[in-house]
Structures are given as C-alpha cells and as structure tokens.
Homo-oligomer: A and B are copies of this chain.
Amino acid sequence: MKVITIGREYGSGGRTIGKMVAQKLGIPYYDRELVDEAAKRSGLAVEAIEENDQVVTRSFLYDLAIGTSYGYVNQTGIPLDLNTQVFLAQREAILKFAEQPCVIVGRCADYILRDREDLLRVFVYADKKARLDRIVKEYGEDPAKAEKLLAQSDKRRARHYEEFTDSIWGARRNYDVLLNSATLGLEHTAEIICRMAE
C-alpha cells in the first residue's frame, strides 16, 4: 500500500476523488487537516495560516506585523517569511502523516515526498467546461464569477507550487499519472487510483 498524493485543478473534483480513494482503501485522507496540524507545530495562529494558505505574498509590512510568532529562521538566525514558515510547517505535517499509507490532496505533497519509493503521485485535471459546471453545481458559486474564480485559483496554486518546488504545477514530469476526471468520471478515476496503489 502506498502514500498517494493528489494534485488537482480547481473544480476537477480532486478532493472528492481523494476522499473516495481513502475510503475505498481504508486509509486516512488529509487536506485542510494539514493546515491545522501545521498551525499546531509552527505556533502560528490557524487564521494566519488559512489566510495565507496557497497564497504567495511578498508584503513586507504584513510579514513584519506578525513576525513575532515566527518559528523557522534562516542560517543566520533571521526569521523566514510567513509563506516559507507556513510551507515548512505543512511539510513537517506531511512527513508525519506519510509515515503510514494515506491520501494527501494538494500542498505540494508530491514534491515534499518525491524521494520515497512507495509513493503514487497523481494529478487530476478536467476541461474548463466540466470544471465550471462543477464549481457552480457542487460548490455553489455564482455562475457569473465562476470563470474568474477558476482562473484565479489555478494561478494561485501554480504560483504556490512553483514558489516552493522550483518546478511547474501540473507538469507531467512531477507525477506518475495524470487523469482526466471529465472524460473518465470521478468514480472511475478513483477506482484507477486505488488499483494503481494496491
């Protein structure tokens, strides 16, 4: 049994697929829980991490304002910026969770765990129409805003990934398999992942 990481485009159903896989295989599923775990370890307030989760900001003043709760420092003892703090805290949580078979959605987990042998790195994607449908029907977003939301979310995920991994989000080289949830269907996609993990 493997540790399964799932990267996903916004609206592709990657989260739902991840939960299905975890349930079918009887292993834990991690997503937002990682943030909480990360918060506990870093000493940062959960709200600060949630606000900054997957957002890459370089605002000096903002960093300065909550600089007092910094936990990680660089080699010369200077505290690292907030995003790096959050990333490192998430990384610790991911490493801990991955001590046992589990499903981890998002959070650059594929990159963090890339040297492990028992890892299945999945990326779930779908065409734009299917994703817009899903954002409106499943997430209850305003149809008029769905397209903008989709573009913003993808951009944010890509920037976050590229910031910390020095690689390109969704680029096939970073994964073992990429699955099109729109043409395969969510249930079938989850089944394929389960069979690959066993």
Residue in B closest to A181 when the chains form the complex, CB atoms: B176
Asked whether any CB of chain B lies closer than 8 Å to the CB of A66, the reply is: no
Asked whether any CB of chain B lies closer than 8 Å to the CB of A28, the reply is: no
Chain B residues lying within 8 Å of A151, measured Cβ to Cβ, are none
Chain B residues lying within 8 Å of A79, measured Cβ to Cβ, are none
Asked whether any CB of chain B lies closer than 8 Å to the CB of A178, the reply is: yes
* Identical subunits present: 2
**Binary interface profile of A, 163-179, with partner B (CB < 8 Å = 1, else 0)?**
00000001011011111
Give bound CA distance, A196 to B195, whole Å.
Answer: 10
From residue 153 to 198 of chain A, which have CB atoms closer than 8 A to chain B? 170, 172-173, 175-180, 183-184, 192, 195-196
Chain B residues lying within 8 Å of A192, measured Cβ to Cβ, are 177, 192, 195-196
Tell me whether A180 and B180 are in contact in the complex, defined as CB-CB below 8 angstroms, given that A172-B125, A192-B196, A196-B192 are known contacts.
Answer: no
Chain B residues lying within 8 Å of A180, measured Cβ to Cβ, are 172-173, 175-177
Q: Once the chains bind, are B176 and A177 in contact (CB under 8 Å)? A: no
Q: Once the chains bind, are B178 and A184 in contact (CB under 8 Å)? A: no
Q: Once the chains bind, are A184 and B195 in contact (CB under 8 Å)? A: no
In the complex, how many angstroms separate the beta carbon of A162 from the nearest chain B beta carbon?
17
Give bound CA distance, A127 to B175, whole Å.
Answer: 11
Chain B residues lying within 8 Å of A195, measured Cβ to Cβ, are 192, 195
Known: A170-B172, A178-B178, A192-B192. 8 other contacts (CB 8 A): A125-B172, A173-B180, A175-B178, A175-B180, A176-B180, A177-B179, A177-B184, A177-B192
Q: Give the B-binding residues of A (Cβ under 8 A).
A: 123, 125, 127, 170, 172-173, 175-180, 183-184, 192, 195-196
A–B pairs, 21, beta carbons within 8 Å: A125-B172, A125-B173, A170-B172, A172-B178, A173-B180, A175-B178, A175-B180, A176-B179, A176-B180, A176-B183, A176-B184, A177-B177, A177-B178, A177-B179, A177-B180, A177-B192, A178-B178, A192-B192, A192-B195, A192-B196, A195-B195
